[in-house]
Amino acid sequence: MKLISRKDWDAKSPSADYTRLDSTRGVKIHYTGGKVPANLADNDRHDRCAELIRDMQAMHMAGGRGEKYIDLAYNLVVCPHRRVFMGRGPHALPAANGRGLNSGHYAVLALLGSSGLTKPNDEMLNGLVDAIEYLRERGDAGREVKGHRDGYDTSCPGDALYTWVRSGAERP
């Protein structure tokens, strides 16, 4: 797995300590729900991935979605270049699954949107499996792999990614 540390993507420090999770039932897969540049998956565009994650972290911490978070809401983020970015990491309560649902599953974000880049490539799918395996090994995540919409009224993680989740979330 190609893991990008918080230092390497230039993450801000969280504004408070994380709530610890001993284990979860599994992982919920998310997408951004916004526009992701259609050419983000191009080989020469990987530098934009960290920039998008930094922007999202700043928005989450500033309350841009109506609620201020202590950090990026996700445990891990996967880009279309098969890189896994450390968010809150294993054993940390996410803030992305919805009220009352965060302790049940870790949150893994795919850098896909509702417009622009909307379909995962094989590199992203492999990165998502890498992230799931990492959370099982390092975070005591259970076997469940679900989409955000499985517990919350949303279109997340988008139809293309949700089809992959529903078909078993396996490597391409």
98 vs 136 pLDDT, higher one: 136
CB count in 10 Å sphere of residue 7:
8
Return mean pLDDT, the chain. 95
Residue 63 placed within a domain? yes
CATH number at residue 55: 3.40.80.10
Residue 123: inside a domain? yes
> Count of domains in the chain?
1
76 is a domain residue: yes
Question: What is the pLDDT, as a whole number, of residue 152?
Answer: 85
Asked if 115 contacts 31 with a C-beta cutoff of 8 angstroms, the reply is no
Poorest-pLDDT segment among 39-43, 113-117, 148-152: 148-152
Global pTM reads 0.97
pLDDT digits (tens, 9 = 90+) for 48-94: 999 999 999 999 999 987 889 999 999 999 999 999 999 999 999 99
What pLDDT band is residue 10 in, cutting at 50, 70 and 90? very high
How many Cα atoms sit within 13 Å of 125 on the Cβ side?
Answer: 17
Residue with tokens 């599994």: 26
> What pLDDT shows up at residue 98?
85
- Residue 26: how many CB atoms within 10 A of its CB? 18
- 171 inside domain: no
Q: Rounded mean pLDDT of 104-113?
A: 97
Answer whether 87's CB lies under 8 Å from 71's CB. yes
For residue 107, give the H/E element and its range: strand 105-110
152 is a domain residue:
yes
Mean pLDDT of 5-34: 97
Domain that holds residue 112: 2-166
Q: Is residue 59 part of a domain?
A: yes
pLDDT recorded at residue 97: 87
Is position 91 within any domain? yes
